[in-house]
Amino acid sequence: MAAILSQYSTTGFYKAPVSKGLMGSMFLTYTALNMPLLAHMRKYLSCKLPDIFSNGEVWRLLTSRIMFLDTKDLVCGALLIYYFRVFERRYGSHKFASYLLATCTVATILETVAIISLQYVDIDVHNGGYLPPGPYGLIFPLFVSYFFDIPRVAQTHFLGIPVTGKTLTYLLGLQVCSTSMATAISGVCGIIAGLIYRHNILHIRRWLVVPKWLANISSISIGWLLRSGVPQEGAIGATLEIQRAQQLELLEQQMLLNRARETRRQQGQGFAETLVGPDNYWPNDNGMFFGGFLRNRRHNVGMPEENGVQPSEEQVQTLMEMGFDRARVLSALRNSNNDIHSATNLLLHES
């Protein structure tokens, strides 16, 4: 389950300023409107159709898309935006912003038509025509790209059903749109908008774009606030699935590398470790095996094989849940004097 929860890289919002701005604006607006001083402004987030057209309040279509009013939906929506930031890195911030503009516009139009049509046939699922507040038109179109472009890699099975790294994302989306029938309609309209954009129906990609001059002004004015620093370099998995998923979390990387290492050992490529044994292996500073082998031979001269204190079963189980086998866990704990943090570093260096 930990691998599913951490299915994306730890690089934060690096090269994803639009996603960072969306998430930040959602939380800031939610916090501000829940303060007593600004609580009276929550009424501006409501949007009742078709009254807004007769009263000239079309701007409510925009304000109603700013944030979720329910805390549960806010948290789930923020997680989805964080997961979907991989598309901004893939498309670029300008194209990603144009994608959000086009799909949100189409989704809002579809929602408006759906509400008015249901009212026309005397079906009231929107409490008198109120548009559900929240960025449904920004989040749910991205599920289309997520379904088609992100590979499905099975990690485990539950009751015969494959559970993948994408399962949690789908469950979060289902949680957001399952609040009521109205939110379900908003989610479906968002998915339809994503399909329309993907197939470029009515050449939507050509005429619904963010102007370059507006993108340049935004980059100059608030770009410095939304930019994130370069993340620290770390180990990157080498499989095609990991590359297409924009780098899995460090834990999942180590699990995959551990499997590959065991395969190489079975094929006879791990002869050095077989000669030395895991108890005597200690890599050197630059990660070279033979340098570590020679240094460790000197390091182990005159040292007893056991430190006299057996590692606790709780420590062993904690490291085994991270994907390491029991023999390596016991060896790492012995070499680190039962310090679980040092043992974790040893196991990661071995991988």
How do the domains of the chain map onto residue ranges? 2-226, 241-350
Q: How many CA atoms lie within 13 A of 148 on its CB side?
A: 9
Please give the single-letter amino acid code of residue 267.
Q
DSSP string, 233-265: P-----SHHHHHTT---HHHHHHHHHHHHHHHH
The pLDDT value given to residue 7: 46
Which tokens is 47 given? 């949007």
Positive or negative torsion for Cα 213, 216, 222, 227: positive
Residue 141: predicted pLDDT: 96
Q: Considering the entire predicted model, what is its pTM?
A: 0.63
The dihedral formed by the CA atoms of 249, 250, 252 and 254, expressed in degrees to the nearest 10: 160
CATH value of 2-226 in 3.40.50.300, 1.20.1540.10, 3.30.450.150, 1.10.1200.120 = 1.20.1540.10
Question: Which whole-number Å values give the CA distances from 177 to 29, 46, 55, 136, in the listed order?
Answer: 21, 18, 29, 8
Each of the 351 residues of the chain gets a pLDDT tens digit; together they read 333 334 444 467 888 999 999 999 999 999 998 888 888 888 888 888 877 877 888 888 888 888 898 899 999 999 999 999 989 988 999 999 999 999 999 999 999 899 889 888 888 887 777 888 899 999 999 999 999 988 776 667 777 777 777 888 999 999 999 888 999 999 999 999 999 999 999 899 998 999 999 999 999 998 888 888 776 665 555 444 544 454 555 555 555 566 656 665 665 544 444 444 444 444 444 444 444 444 444 444 444 444 456 778 888 887 787 777 888 888 888 877 787 777 777 777 665
